Amino acid sequence: MVELKTDTSIDAMHAAGQVVARALTAVRRAADVGVSLLELDAVAREVLREAGAGSPFLGYRPSFAPAPFPAVICASVNDAIVHGIPDGYRLRDGDLVSVDCGATLDGWAGDSAVSFTVGTPRPADTALIAAAGRALDAGIGAAVVGNRIGDIAHAIGAVCRAAGYGIPDGFGGHGIGRRMHEDPGVPNEGRAGRGMRLRHGMVLAIEPMVTGGGRDDYHAAPDGWTLRTNDGSRAAHAEHTVAITDRGPRVLTARDGL
Ligand code: MG
Ligand code: MG
């Protein structure tokens, strides 16, 4: 069932989304060669703590997971697509990092992700990250009243495929509200004009993931969480929480710069 949010609830979700935005900005500022993933998690924890926000990631345990998630961010480096567990790994020159973060504030959730490089970027990584961003923009652009879920999926998939990148099978965006994961699912590829009609008050986390090798397959690392490309190619991820309104899409996790 899809819950439609009131304008007041969307404002409250914007407040939660802005905590996520600040956390991601702080993490990105802190990320550099030699900085560990655990240190980045600590940066995000501090932003959530200062805001009085909770983490929907910390302790999260979906059916596939062998253990509760131990951090407030996912930090996925290079061939890791999503769900990387922050650990003592120290970032190296040219690493591609995808950071996903959530927050709950006054009972409402926000969810957003960004990819970036540290040190001297590989041109191929810069292009991959740019494509994830363009795919996200295209998905947001299709998130308008009267369109359907398939229009968002098609818009995302068209950008990724045109660039020659892969789209990991079976992962995508989702409805979001009082819980981080609600109906409907928002696939990263699909047919325009199909699926649920978009209405004022729907709030969706839209989150393209792209793989540089052009393949859609992946595997779980031994930790049971981290998903890595099978061909070792690098991956990028971009996500915003977006409210569908009569006045157009409203990006609740928008960041200032960075
Ligand atoms: Mg996320
Ligand atoms: Mg999400």
Taking only the tens place, the pLDDT of each residue in 42-56 is: 999 999 999 999 999
pTM exceeds 0.85 for this model: yes
The CA angle 200-202-206, to the nearest 5 degrees, is: 125
What's the pLDDT band for 256 if we cut at 50, 70, 90?
confident
Instruction: Judge whether residue 257 has pLDDT over 80.
Output: no
Mean pLDDT of 231-239: 98
What's the gap in Å between 5 CA and the centre of ligand 2?
18
What's the pLDDT band for 31 if we cut at 50, 70, 90?
very high
Ramachandran class of 214: left when φ > 0, alpha when ψ lies in -120 to 50, beta otherwise: left
Percent of the chain with pLDDT over 70: 100
Q: Which CATH superfamily is domain 7-251 in?
A: Creatinase/methionine aminopeptidase superfamily (3.90.230.10)
Mean pLDDT of 15-23: 98
Nearest ligand to the C-alpha atom of residue 100:
1
Nearest ligand to the C-alpha atom of residue 238:
1
Nearest ligand to the C-alpha atom of residue 204:
2
What's the gap in Å between 7 CA and the centre of ligand 1?
23
* Residue 88, helix vs strand vs coil: coil
Burial of 219 (0-12, 13-18, 19+ CB in 10 A): exposed
Percent of the chain with pLDDT over 90: 97
208 to each of 19, 59, 136, 158, how far by Cα in Å? 21, 24, 6, 11
Helices (H), 31-148: 37-51, 123-141
Residues with CB under 5 A from ligand 2 (ion): 111, 205
Identify the pLDDT of residue 212. 98
What's the gap in Å between 36 CA and the centre of ligand 2?
23
Mean pLDDT of 3-14: 97
pLDDT tens-digit readout, 87-126: 999 999 999 999 999 999 999 999 999 999 999 999 999 9
What's the gap in Å between 173 CA and the centre of ligand 1?
8
Instruction: Judge whether residue 191 has pLDDT over 90.
Output: yes
Beta strands in the chain (DSSP E): 73-77, 80-82, 96-105, 108-117, 172-175, 182-187, 203-206, 209-211, 218-220, 227-229, 235-237, 240-245, 248-251
Q: What is the mean pLDDT of the chain?
A: 97
How far is the C-alpha of 171 from the C-alpha of 186, rounded, in Å?
A: 9
How far is the C-alpha of 161 from the C-alpha of 258, rounded, in Å?
A: 26
How far is the C-alpha of 181 from the C-alpha of 111, rounded, in Å?
A: 10
What's the gap in Å between 17 CA and the centre of ligand 1?
11
How far is the C-alpha of 211 from the C-alpha of 188, rounded, in Å?
A: 12
Contact of 21 with 254, CB cutoff 8 Å: yes
What's the gap in Å between 111 CA and the centre of ligand 2?
6
Q: With CA atoms as reference, report the closest residue to 91 among 27, 36, 28, 30.
A: 36
